Chain A
């Protein structure tokens, strides 16, 4: 690991100020990085994939931004809540099951004790060409090419890819946030703002090193999940090589509002198959206003993967992704 200057932030504003001062590069490559749980940052620093010269320890902010609060408006999650805290919270388990399930099915108990909800959504791809410092990786060395496209790509993305990058977004919680229409609360150099969580991440395009709409210095302070009639009727289904402590090959976060046998509202987010947390708008459109049956679920799944692009090793993923979504939809519908 390269050397760095370690500093502790006394409040959110000074943390943002220090990080913003260090430069205006994409946050993934910025010379100043926030340290909370450390489970992504220290791992990637040991791999030399992230090289901050300043590490700003923000874990002291947890007293202020580490609360879970559920009220009539919805669910407020502080960015410094640990995954394990949210996973076992009785209100979340009862009223926001997709959130609790996505957290419980992720990582290991030790990692869930450490990782914060703010950092969780910013975890970076598990693409081995990126992690191991392969010479051709546009995400790690912009402009160098992509070794994964002609290489070992069994776990790589089929949605949201570009000619520059097919690295999969690896997380689970982000899909659950999309399914429940979450807002993400940010503090930046010019003050606080709130945006739809769905809009936080960006597809790689021709600049895979840019993974979010965050600017230098932007800090996630929390999430707000509005209470909706269908929030309770939600689930996270995760398919993986082993049944615990493994990233998704395909996953689906679904929230469903059925009225008189027809789909009134549905939210669908897919994981393990896309370059970013993926909202399947096309699948939602197929289902809205129609009864949820095996047939309509299959039509929706087909729509979700209509634009899938595969690269050999991951040729199986569109079919696995479709079946994952169909199963999630039918389980929720009680069919």
Chain B
């Protein structure tokens, strides 16, 4: 995803322009309903679907290729790039978001199949005040490169709300779906301990 398809263009290349060009999507054919969709076996199928999402409290009306994951919808169609694409196969947890209040992997979720409100890292701060978990990650220095951090924070909030923070061992077990290549794990556990007491109080 970090390969620029038009790196020869004489534009100042920033990370954002690279991502933007790589994300250019082809025009979609409209095949509409199932009845007319399956064509000859060798013909590629393209189906555009009207998708209505609630993302961080805002309604979003989109027309998406049926293949579009929730992760790609957030990043490439809604500009919410806080949610990260790590492995894209449900193994690393970087893409963790809340759907209906439960933590799920947005890379293994089709946007068309989402039936409940979505909360991403961008939806946590209220009136300019960070969520206690975000503040705790800063206070406890719970990251180095930061790439896994949005997923860690979303997962950590769910971990507290599920009641799985009774001990450090329980926190580690219930955070095992979020990998940190920088190995900031001890500080992540400390951040969750800190945020837990704030979240439980409020």
Chain A residues proximal to chain B, CB less than 8 Å: 1-7, 18, 22, 31, 35, 38-39, 42-43, 46-47, 53-55, 57, 59, 107-111, 113-114, 244-245
A6 near B93 (CB under 8 angstroms)? no
Instruction: Known contacts A38-B113, A54-B37, A114-B109; decide if A3 and B90 are in contact (CB<8 Å).
Output: no
A46 contacts across to B, CB distance below 8 A: 88-89
Q: 8 closest pairs, A vs B, by CB?
A: A108-B177, A5-B37, A244-B176, A3-B45, A7-B34, A6-B66, A245-B176, A110-B177
Listed stretches B7-15, B75-83, B98-106, B128-136; interface member = B98-106
CB neighbors of A among B120-177 (8 A): 155, 158-159, 162, 164, 172-177
B96 contacts across to A, CB distance below 8 A: 110
B108 near A4 (CB under 8 angstroms)? no
B34 near A54 (CB under 8 angstroms)? yes
* A2→B41 CA distance, assembly (Å): 12
* A113→B159 CA distance, assembly (Å): 12
Instruction: Known contacts A3-B46, A4-B67, A53-B45; decide if A111 and B37 are in contact (CB<8 Å).
Output: no
Name A113's contact: one of B33, B44, B104, B113 (CB within 8 Å). Answer: B104
B67 near A110 (CB under 8 angstroms)? no
Min distance, Cβ A253 to any Cβ of chain B, angstroms: 20
Besides A54-B38, A59-B113, A245-B177, 4 more A-B contacts (Cβ < 8 Å) are A3-B44, A22-B38, A43-B108, A244-B173
Instruction: Known contacts A43-B90, A43-B108, A53-B38; decide if A4 and B66 are in contact (CB<8 Å).
Output: yes
A38 contacts across to B, CB distance below 8 A: 108-110, 113
B172 near A108 (CB under 8 angstroms)? no
B41 contacts across to A, CB distance below 8 A: 31, 53
A3 near B47 (CB under 8 angstroms)? yes
- Of B33, B38, B49, B109, the most chain A CB neighbours within 10 A belong to B38
* A109→B155 CA distance, assembly (Å): 9
A31 contacts across to B, CB distance below 8 A: 38, 41
Min distance, Cβ B65 to any Cβ of chain A, angstroms: 7
B112 near A57 (CB under 8 angstroms)? yes
Name 14 interchain pairs, CB-CB below 8 A, sorted by A: A2-B67, A6-B34, A6-B66, A7-B34, A18-B34, A54-B38, A55-B66, A57-B112, A108-B176, A110-B93, A111-B177, A114-B105, A114-B108, A244-B173
Min distance, Cβ B99 to any Cβ of chain A, angstroms: 9
- Of B44, B47, B49, B178, the most chain A CB neighbours within 10 A belong to B47
A3 contacts across to B, CB distance below 8 A: 44-47, 65-67
How many residues in B have their beta carbons less than 8 Å from beta carbons of A? 43
Name A109's contact: one of B67, B112, B158 (CB within 8 Å). Answer: B158
A109 near B66 (CB under 8 angstroms)? no
B181 contacts across to A, CB distance below 8 A: none
* A329→B108 CA distance, assembly (Å): 37
A110 near B34 (CB under 8 angstroms)? no
* A22→B176 CA distance, assembly (Å): 39
A109 near B174 (CB under 8 angstroms)? yes
* A31→B34 CA distance, assembly (Å): 13
B15-48: CB near A (< 8 Å → 1, else 0) gives 0000000000000000101100110010011110
* A194→B181 CA distance, assembly (Å): 46
Min distance, Cβ A126 to any Cβ of chain B, angstroms: 11
* A234→B112 CA distance, assembly (Å): 40
B5 interface hit (Cβ, 8 Å): no
Name B31's contact: one of A1, A5, A59, A110 (CB within 8 Å). Answer: A5
B38 near A110 (CB under 8 angstroms)? no
Name A39's contact: one of B47, B90, B155 (CB within 8 Å). Answer: B90
B89 near A43 (CB under 8 angstroms)? yes
* A83→B142 CA distance, assembly (Å): 29
* A107→B178 CA distance, assembly (Å): 11
B110 contacts across to A, CB distance below 8 A: 6, 35, 38, 42, 55, 57
Min distance, Cβ B46 to any Cβ of chain A, angstroms: 5
* A59→B114 CA distance, assembly (Å): 10
A109 near B69 (CB under 8 angstroms)? no
A1 contacts across to B, CB distance below 8 A: 67
Min distance, Cβ B151 to any Cβ of chain A, angstroms: 9
Min distance, Cβ B38 to any Cβ of chain A, angstroms: 5
B159 near A2 (CB under 8 angstroms)? no
B172 contacts across to A, CB distance below 8 A: 244
B109 contacts across to A, CB distance below 8 A: 38, 42, 114
B175 contacts across to A, CB distance below 8 A: 109
Chain B residue nearest to A131 (CB atoms) is B89
